[in-house]
Amino acid sequence: MSVTEKIYAPHPTVAEISPETRLLAEIFGEPLTDLQMVMTLERGLPLRSVEVLRKEGLTFTEVHGLVLPARTLKHRKDRNQPLSPEEADRALRVVKMIALAERIFGNREKSLRWLRRPNKRLEERTPLAMLKSESGAELVRQMLHQIDEGIYV
């Protein structure tokens, strides 16, 4: 593709933008490299990242069970403080997993239904509950990739 073709190439439509790109743009406000993302997480994410999770369909209980307790969120809002690096990391983990599930299942409703459904492989725990730890998230990530490859889980 020539430089001219690249300049005049149509921008992707909303439908062509991946769920992860869309969600990360909502949280960070702009596209970031992986290193910039890590550096931003180390400073803490703005409180709007919690609202992004709620907007994506997670319940109050789910958000506060996975990212930070409601009382801590109120404290952060009262003092106009960002999420701590640990809370920011948990929020990003949940966002990325929702985006991956949405990409694999084709829409948000199906992905949330799968994330909330108890799974035999997880000893009847829900994939969403597994996102409390990075090890649990990795297991859910593997399961989603297996589903994407046509392997039943």
CA nearest to 121, candidates 153, 99, 144: 153
- Mean pLDDT, the chain, rounded, equals 86
CB proximity list for 127: less than 8 A, separation 6 or greater: 97, 101, 114, 115, 116, 117, 119, 140, 143
> What average pLDDT score do residues 17-34 get?
76
Q: What's the helix, strand, coil split of the chain in %, to 5? A: 70, 0, 30
pLDDT in tens, 86-137: 999 999 999 999 999 999 999 999 999 999 999 999 999 999 999 999 999 9
Q: Which of 2-16, 27-41, 64-78 has the highest mean pLDDT?
A: 64-78
